[in-house]
Every structure is written in structure tokens, then in C-alpha cells.
Amino acid sequence: MKRPTDNLLAYLRILWRNKLMGVGLVIMLAFIFIALVAPLITTPNRPNPYQLRRDWSCILAPPGTPGHVFGTDDRGSDIFYGIIWGARTSIKYGLLICISQSILGALVGLIAGYYQGIVGITLMRITDMFLSLPRLILAMAFGAIFGISLQSIAFSLILTGWTRPARITRSAVIGVQAEQYVEAIKALGASSTRILFRHVLPNALSPLIIQATMDLGAIILSISGLAFIGLAPAGIAEWGSMIAIAQARLVGGYWWTAALPGIAIFLFVLGANLVGDGVRDVLDPKLRGS
């Protein structure tokens, strides 16, 4: 009989062998640490610390300029400040979107997988309808209705992003529901709510966690992409917005204005994808050979 510590040791051995996941974890933890200590690394703007800090007396200063370690753009915005507070912005909204769409998708998938009659069919047709909605058009529509904001971007991404977790959870629930212990619990008269949340959901969590970790990098990329095309407020400390501001100066040789925020996006997305691959190796029984 396997003890819980045996499973833990097996997971730790997989993690030890997965060097790339370690690299990704270091990158992600570094960005999370930077986001948490942003007020200590830089003096926050007042009244809104998420706005870019501008120095109109120092335009297009190169990296290494005193007071502007990463230089400035053509509006005098400090690149270092923007990257630090942009990490705080992107990670906050990225985690919010990832967690929200996973919870919403899990609830829909649980119900659709457990009640496979008319309820399940209806929920999956609704899921297909939302799956067909284009994120870009939806985000633009929300921006026109509710105003240009990161909240509109987040809402549009959640509204189109919960469909994949719903499908994954439904498939996992159908598989778990066929197990004999679930049939035995039903025979004992347990309520549907108890069966769903005490017995079915815990055993269907692994694929949902894998999908959530894999989605995080794509969500950060989507936020930056939507901000780049102007769906985020002007002047906000966000990596995509900073690249949008900088694009007009790329031909002039002012590479740092776009390259440094772009490197920040690349590194975080790379770290998130490496961690996602590692989590999949740990939690997917087919990949760990058990």
C-alpha cells in the first residue's frame, strides 16, 4: 500500500529531474518578487502608482543614464519604473483572469459532466457558443461599451477563456464518475452536491491545474497584445502599452524603449510555459508512468 509520502517523494524526484521547470520557476518567482516589492524598489507615483513616471527634462535617455537605469522613451517615461510596475499590473490581472476562468469553467464542467442529459448538452452548446467568440472583437466591444480599461480586457478574456477548462473538467468528471467508488457512494444515498465536491472534483483537479498553469503565459501575452493595440488606458505601466508607445521610435535607433518591455514579456511567458510543462509532467499519470 502506497503512503502519501511515497507520492510526494515521487513528485520531488520528477521535479529534480526536470531542470527546465526549475529555470521557469526561478523566472516566475523573480517576477512575482519584483511585483511584490515594487513600492520598495521604486518610489510610487502619486496618486496613481500604476501610471508611468515621466521626466520631461530627460527625453529618450539611453540605458545607464543617472536616475534612469533603463533609459526613457519619447515622453520621458522611465522604462525601469514601467517594467517594475508593469510586472505588478500584468501578474495581478493574469492571475485574476486565470483563476476566474478556471473556477467558472470547473463549475460548468462539473455540472455538464455529472448531469449528462439535457442539462449537460445545453451547457456544452453554450460553451461552444462562447468558444466561437473572437477575443479581439469582444475586447474591442467591451472597450466601446464600458470604456478603455484593463477591467474590460480582463472581462473579455474571462468570458472567452472559461470554455477550455469547462471541456477539460467535463471529460475528467465523466471518467471519474465511471469509477466503482462513485457508484458505491451513490448507492449509499449521498447527495449530488456531496458527490460532486467531495469525491468527483478532487479527482478531476489535476487536468484543470495543468491547463491553468499552461494558460497563464498565454493570458499575459493576450493582455499585452490587447494593450498594445490601444485597449488599455494611455500612460499606464503595462508592458504592451509601453511597446505601443515605443514603436514610433524604433526606426530612430532607440531600441531600448521597446526591447526592454518586450524582453520582460518574453521571459515571463517563457517561465510560465516551462512551469506549466513541469506541472504536467508531475500531475499527468501517463507522463510519469504510473
Q: Which residue has the higher pLDDT, 282 or 223?
A: 223
**Model confidence pLDDT, tens digit, residues 88-142:** 999 999 999 999 999 999 999 988 888 878 888 899 999 888 888 787 788 888 8
Task: Please tell me the distance from the alpha carbon of residue 133 to that of residue 126, in angstroms, as a whole number.
Answer: 11
Give the C-alpha separation, 169 to 36, whole Å: 32
Q: Hey, what domains does the chain have and what are their CATH numbers?
A: 16-39+76-288 (1.10.3720.10)
Across the chain, mean pLDDT equals: 84
Determine the pLDDT at residue 276: 86
Closest CA to 278 of 25, 28, 29: 25
**pLDDT digit string (tens) for 191-204?**
777 777 777 778 77
Q: Locate 177 and state its grid cell.
A: 464518475
All 3 cell numbers of residue 135?
Answer: 477575443
